[in-house]
Amino acid sequence: MKTIKTLAILGIICFVLYSFTSVVQDEWKVPAKYEKMKNPTDPSVDLAIGKTLYNKHCKSCHGKTGLGDGPKADEVDGDLGDFSTGEFQSQSDGAIFYKSYIGRDDMPNYEKKIPDEEDVWLIVNYVRTMGD
């Protein structure tokens, strides 16, 4: 009987640790280098270019207004986010740049598709207009 209780307790501990590990792995860590990056572009200039680039590269998944409701959204397993929320908008420009450019899991890497980093910064500027 003692062995069964011990195994049950170990099973519960393993389950809790596994669950905790899964939660921790889902957090998107942005390297300090990117977190502190300053946007080299002027957000009031070339917003139309940022919108055009967003429509070309991002809209199909993230949707017209950044709600994560684009036509390809159902094909993605992860959370597409909601660009209008205060939580999203409170991120640094560098964090949004990193997540948009480097990607992870279902979010593709755009280093080859958008070789000019300035274009990604223009997308960051446009995404900033989607806030509440």
What tens-digit pLDDT sequence spans the chain (132 residues)? 667 665 556 556 655 544 444 444 478 999 999 999 999 999 988 999 999 999 999 999 999 999 999 999 999 988 899 999 999 999 999 999 999 999 999 999 999 999 999 999 999 999 999 986
pLDDT in tens, 71-100: 999 999 888 999 999 999 999 999 999 999
> What total number of domains does the chain contain?
1
**pLDDT of 52:** 97
Domain span at residue 118 reads: 30-128
Report the pLDDT value the prediction gives residue 49, as an integer from 0 to 100. 96
pLDDT at 44: 87
Distance CA 26, CA 87 (A): 16
* Best CA proximity match to 69, nearest among 53, 85, 58, 54: 58
Q: How far is CA 50 from CA 9, 47, 89, in A?
A: 54, 5, 17
In a domain, 21, yes or no: no
pLDDT at 11: 53
CA atoms of 124 and 130, how far apart (whole Å): 10
The CA distance from 75 to 53, in Å, is 21
Q: Is the pTM of this model over 0.95?
A: no
In a domain, 96, yes or no: yes
Task: Report if residue 22 sits inside a domain.
Answer: no
Q: How many CB atoms lie within 10 A of CB 6?
A: 10
